[in-house]
Amino acid sequence: MRIALFIACFNDTLFPETGKAVVRILERLGHEVVFPEEQTCCGQMHANSGYGREAVPLARRFVRVFGEHDVIVTPSGSCAAMVHDAYPRLAELAGDERLAADVRALAPRVHELSRLLVDVLGVEDVGAYYPHRVTYHPTCHGLRLLKVGDRPLRLLRAVRGIDLVELPEAETCCGFGGTFAVKNADTSAAMLTDKVRAVLDTRAEICTALDNSCLLHIGGGLSRMRAGTRAVHLAEILAATEDDA
């Protein structure tokens, strides 16, 4: 299958290893990955911060760049949710019926990574080996907007060598929330403290999730505390093999 990678600007710029991991997993499973180089940002930060009008051209750009592709994957729950959940409202805000129709046609072809693997490609064991103690944080937009359910956990359980431990109060937000993290930094930090406490209680070395944005926040807190626990995107765990060990 030919799969177009929607990397998300955040991953492209700060987390290239996550994008490389997606390519590695999909190619290992026998698929062809293409990367439309005209892609930039889906507009989530603008749309969620009150600059919806500024996000509309970015939605139009996304539709133009990915419109020709049949299967699109992104290693970001919140950017996938942006296309599914927020683009229709942006089209309405702009009164752009063409955009609304384009989004209706395109959104069902945009898949968050765990959904692509389990629902579209029908695999749970992607042939990974990861001999580490790992806990999984379900990020809010994946959980509540995309309803990924236990798909990421099913993928993780099939990883050889992994010691997967349950995160207490897993479904509570970590406090990232995009610009919330800087506009309401104190409240965000209070939420982060409780999330970090839950992560450390598991004694895991690795906290994983579908979104590097939330992981930048959780990992940034762990790093500040010199906690010895790292944040690693799900794709990087699923890409790892015995050759890496």
Residues in contact with another protein by CB under 8 A are 7, 9, 11-16, 18-20, 35, 37-41, 43, 45-55, 57-58, 61, 86, 89, 93, 140-141, 143-145, 171-173, 175-192, 194, 216-217, 219-221, 223-224
Task: Report the residue number, 50 or 122, with the smaller CB distance to another protein.
Answer: 50
Of 45 and 63, the one with the shorter C-beta distance to another protein is 45
Q: Which of 75, 204, 196 is nearest to 130 (CA)?
A: 204
CB 51 → another protein: shortest distance, Å?
5
In DSSP terms, 32 is beta-bridged to 2
Separation of alpha carbons 172 and 236, rounded Å: 24
Q: How far is the CB of 200 from another protein (least distance, A)?
A: 15
Considering the complex, state which of residue 100 and residue 158 has its C-beta at the smaller distance from another protein. 100
CB of 120 to another protein, least distance (A): 22
Nearer to another protein, 48 or 241 (CB): 48
* DSSP-derived 3-state class of residue 119: helix
Residue number, 158 or 170, with CB nearest to another protein: 170
CB of 63: closest distance to another protein in angstroms? 14
**Contact in structure between 234 and 210 (CB atoms under 8 Å):** yes
Residue 31 Cβ vs another protein, minimum distance, rounded to whole Å: 13
For 5, the enclosing helix (H) or strand (E) is strand 2-5
85: DSSP letter: I
Task: Give the integer Cα–Cα distance in Å for 26 and 31.
Answer: 5
CA gap 38, 138 in Å, rounded: 30
